């Protein structure tokens, strides 16, 4: 917000700068495109049966090579039959020519029962129209259209119910552009007239889309504050699905109803700091006369202080003809008034519950996939018999031989070399090598750190316990030593050791007896030692012996002679001349 200029500076992504660079070409018409001086290709577009304006690209080179790029496609049987008979494609379907590569929409290219076969679009529309015919004539229907590709559903609903379909301002402007194409030399999509209307003589025929909220059918964006759909108790929802499994489980399309589709717009008002917020509050207080409304707005803005400073807003208040990227701040207060009012209403209302009225469900589902099933893809591949197939969609991390092009379509192709499969095998090999190297590096690092920790811990434990033992032994010696100083001090040390440590602890101990035992070093019990430490027990005992003899000037027999220091029967004791 720029308070100095009194405007809200918006950031909009537009492509106006490309209008003089992008050129349109008609459907089913070979068009020569010069890529560089002396180098040309021929491009032909074919309907892809996915959404309004979706097409496939046939690209033919001067050297005789050719590829077909499908993009998103619903290759139903009727579409495949029309492609087989298309005069431009006859050499590749019924003739001797073969596509060098078919770039294929592999969204549902799996052999699983879930994606093997889908009802055709016509069957889905038949089911939908049969279901809505059971509702009273005053029923309001909301079609949950979250992305492009459901234009034929609008046309079918409008024709069956005799009502137009209400769209929010953003969606209306998108589809209105299809009708504007007819005023230019550019080719228009085949759905344009049915959606946006056309002129017949002196009469203007309306299309099935409208901005009038009084319509019985709605596909406006949720949260666009439509007076009809906001009253959820009177609305029946229509939700498209991909298909149903044999047991009746419905398969929803990924992303459906997620609120972030192609037709859903999320506008956010960014409040960067407290000064901006205070200025905005002052602006609202001065421009809005209703104290209750002002209170709601101030409460709404205050709630942003502990959040991200972003507020989702409705930009439908912007005049339709406004092409400027900036909005007067006066309009911002109108937007905030609307947001605050709706927020207060929503806080008091719960979401629509899935209940029935007069035995009729509040939600209607019908199968209408925008992408091909596996069987439909095989039918398309069989019609062309290409030399190679390259997938348009693929998950590299989950790729395996069962999802390779050879496995899915190899029996339908005219060659046996699949470039994408070879690429994925190489990437899988490289990823496995990186993983193996990473695991080895982690193992080596962990082993080094563990050994270092073990050695440091062994040294600390041994030193601490040697010092503790020496201190306890000397204290015991002073209390029990007789007046005869000539008595052998080694005997007194042994006596002290025997009193401090039970006989069971002084028995010879083999570290390999059991993994759960705690091995001893000299006459004292060590801290818990792992298997790796037990393997290095000889070096640890050697260190303990050196520490005892060097620090205290006594031999091993006097200080630790009650404990065996052998690892094997043939190994000499520590402290002997052979050790």
pLDDT digits (tens, 9 = 90+) for 308-322: 555 555 554 454 444
Q: How far is residue 520's CA from residue 280's CA, in Å, rounded to a whole number? A: 75
Q: Give residue 140's pLDDT.
A: 93
Range with the poorest average pLDDT among 30-34, 479-483, 487-491: 487-491
Q: Give residue 445's pLDDT.
A: 79
Q: How far is residue 455's CA from residue 80's CA, in Å, rounded to a whole number? A: 73
Q: Give residue 526's pLDDT.
A: 43
Q: Give residue 21's pLDDT.
A: 82
More confident residue, 148 or 445: 148
Cα distances (angstroms) measured from residue 125 to each of 117, 157, 240:
17, 9, 10
Q: List CB contacts of 159: < 8 A, sequence separation 6 or more.
A: 208
> Whose CA is closest to 299, among 339, 331, 348?
339
pLDDT digits (tens, 9 = 90+) for 203-241: 888 899 999 988 999 998 876 678 777 666 779 999 999
Q: How far is residue 235's CA from residue 212's CA, in Å, rounded to a whole number? A: 17
pLDDT digits (tens, 9 = 90+) for 337-375: 666 665 554 444 433 344 444 578 999 999 999 999 999
Alpha helices in 349-487 (DSSP H): 374-384, 405-409, 419-480
Task: State the CATH class of domain 121-266+354-367.
Answer: alpha beta
Residue 249 has phi, psi (to 5 degrees) of -70, 130
Cα atoms in the 13 Å half-sphere on the side-chain side of 261: 19
Q: Give residue 322's pLDDT.
A: 46
Local confidence band at 201 (pLDDT 50, 70, 90 cut-offs)? confident
User: Is the predicted pLDDT of residue 402 greater than 80, yes or no?
Assistant: yes
Residue with token string 């003899």: 549
Q: What is the mean pLDDT of residues 186-190?
A: 73
Q: How far is residue 26's CA from residue 30's CA, in Å, rounded to a whole number? A: 9
Residues 77 and 379 sit within 8 Å (Cβ to Cβ):
yes
Positive or negative, the Cα torsion across 336, 339, 342, 343?
negative
Cα distances (angstroms) measured from residue 6 to each of 123, 279, 328, 329:
55, 11, 6, 6
Whether the predicted model's global pTM rises above the 0.75 cut: no
Query: For the chain, how many residues are written?
Result: 579
DSSP assignment string, 461-520: HHHHHHHHHHHHHHHHHHHH--S-TTS-HHHHHHHHHHHHS-GGGSS---TTS-TTS--E
User: Is the predicted pLDDT of residue 289 greater than 90, yes or no?
Assistant: no
Local confidence band at 295 (pLDDT 50, 70, 90 cut-offs)? confident
Q: List CB contacts of 211: < 8 A, sequence separation 6 or more.
A: 166, 167, 169, 172
pLDDT digits (tens, 9 = 90+) for 514-524: 444 444 444 44
Quick one: CA torsion of 492, 493, 499, 500, rounded to 10 degrees?
160
Range with the poorest average pLDDT among 93-97, 250-254, 522-526: 522-526
Range with the poorest average pLDDT among 7-16, 129-138, 247-256: 7-16
DSSP 528: P
Q: Give residue 557's pLDDT.
A: 54
* Tokens matching residue 438: 């990473």
Q: What percent of the chain has pLDDT over 90?
A: 35
Q: How far is residue 12's CA from residue 326's CA, in Å, rounded to a whole number? A: 10
pLDDT digits (tens, 9 = 90+) for 428-474: 999 889 888 888 888 887 776 666 666 665 555 555 655 555 565 55
Q: Give residue 74's pLDDT.
A: 96
User: Is the predicted pLDDT of residue 132 greater than 50, yes or no?
Assistant: yes
- The CATH number that domain 18-116+370-417 falls under is 3.60.15.10
Nearest-5° angle of CA 344, CA 139, CA 339? 20
Q: What is the mean pLDDT of residues 473-497?
A: 49
Fold matches, 18-116+370-417 and 121-266+354-367? no
Hey, where are the domains in the chain?
18-116+370-417, 121-266+354-367, 274-308, 439-480+487-560
Any bridge partners for residue 72, and if so which?
none
């Amino acid at each position: 917000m720029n308070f100095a200029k009194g405007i809200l500076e918006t950031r909009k992504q537009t492509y106006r700068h490309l209008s003089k660079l992008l050129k349109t070409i008609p459907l089913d018409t070979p068009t020569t495109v010069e890529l560089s001086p002396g180098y040309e290709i021929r491009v032909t577009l074919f309907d892809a049966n996915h959404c309004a304006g979706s097409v496939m690209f046939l690209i033919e080179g001067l050297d005789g090579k050719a590829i077909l790029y499908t993009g998103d496609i619903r290759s139903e049987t009727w579409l495949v039959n029309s492609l087989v008979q298309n005069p431009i494609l006859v050499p590749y379907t019924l003739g001797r020519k073969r596509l060098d590569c078919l770039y294929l929409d592999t969204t549902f290219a799996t052999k699983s029962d879930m994606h093997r076969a889908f009802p055709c679009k016509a069957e889905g529309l038949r089911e939908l129209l049969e279901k809505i015919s059971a509702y009273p004539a005053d029923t309001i229907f909301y079609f949950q259209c979250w992305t492009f590709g459901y234009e034929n559903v609008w046309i079918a609903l409008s024709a069956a119910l005799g009502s137009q379909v209400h769209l929010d301002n953003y969606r209306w402007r998108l589809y209105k552009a299809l009708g504007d194409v007819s005023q230019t030399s550019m080719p228009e999509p085949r759905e344009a007239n049915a959606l946006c209307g056309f002129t017949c003589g002196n009469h203007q025929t309306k299309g099935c889309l409208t901005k009038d909220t009084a319509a019985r059918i709605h596909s406006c964006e949720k949260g666009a504050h439509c007076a009809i759909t906001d009253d959820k108790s009177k609305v029946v929802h229509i939700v498209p699905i991909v298909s149903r499994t044999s047991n009746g489980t419905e398969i929803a399309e990924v992303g459906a109803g997620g609120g972030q589709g192609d037709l859903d717009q999320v506008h956010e008002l960014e409040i960067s700091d407290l000064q901006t917020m205070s200025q905005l509050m002052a602006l609202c207080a001065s421009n809005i006369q209703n104290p209750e409304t002002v209170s709601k707005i101030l409460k709404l803005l205050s709630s942003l202080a502990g959040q991200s400073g972003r507020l989702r807003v409705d930009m439908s208040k912007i005049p339709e003809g406004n092409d400027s990227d900036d909005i007067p701040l006066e309009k911002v207060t109108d937007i905030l008034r609307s947001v605050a009012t709706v927020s207060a209403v929503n806080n008091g209302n719960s979401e629509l519950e899935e209940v029935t009225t007069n035995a009729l469900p509040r939600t209607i589902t019908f199968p209408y996939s925008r992408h091909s099933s596996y069987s439909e893809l095989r039918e398309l591949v069989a019609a062309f018999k290409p030399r190679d197939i390259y997938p348009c969609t693929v998950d590299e991390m989950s790729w395996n031989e069962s999802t390779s092009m050879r496995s899915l379509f190899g029996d339908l192709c005219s060659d046996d070399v699949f470039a994408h499969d070879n690429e994925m095998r190489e990437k899988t090999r490289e990823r496995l090598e990186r993983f193996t190297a990473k695991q080895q590096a982690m193992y080596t690092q962990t082993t080094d750190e563990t050994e270092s920790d073990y050695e440091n811990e062994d040294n600390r434990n041994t030193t601490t316990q040697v010092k503790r033992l020496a201190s306890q032994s000397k204290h015991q010696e002073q209390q029990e030593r007789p007046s005869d100083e000539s008595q052998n001090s080694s005997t007194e040390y042994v006596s002290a050791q025997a009193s401090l440590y039970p006989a069971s602890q002084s028995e010879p101990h083999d570290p390999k007896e059991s993994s759960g035992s705690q091995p001893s070093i000299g006459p004292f019990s060590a801290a818990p030692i792992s298997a790796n430490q037990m393997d290095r027990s000889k070096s640890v005992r050697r260190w303990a012996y050196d520490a005892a003899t060097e620090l205290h000037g006594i031999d091993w027999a006097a200080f630790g002679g009650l404990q065996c220091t052998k690892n094997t029967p043939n190994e000499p004791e520590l402290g002997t001349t052979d050790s």
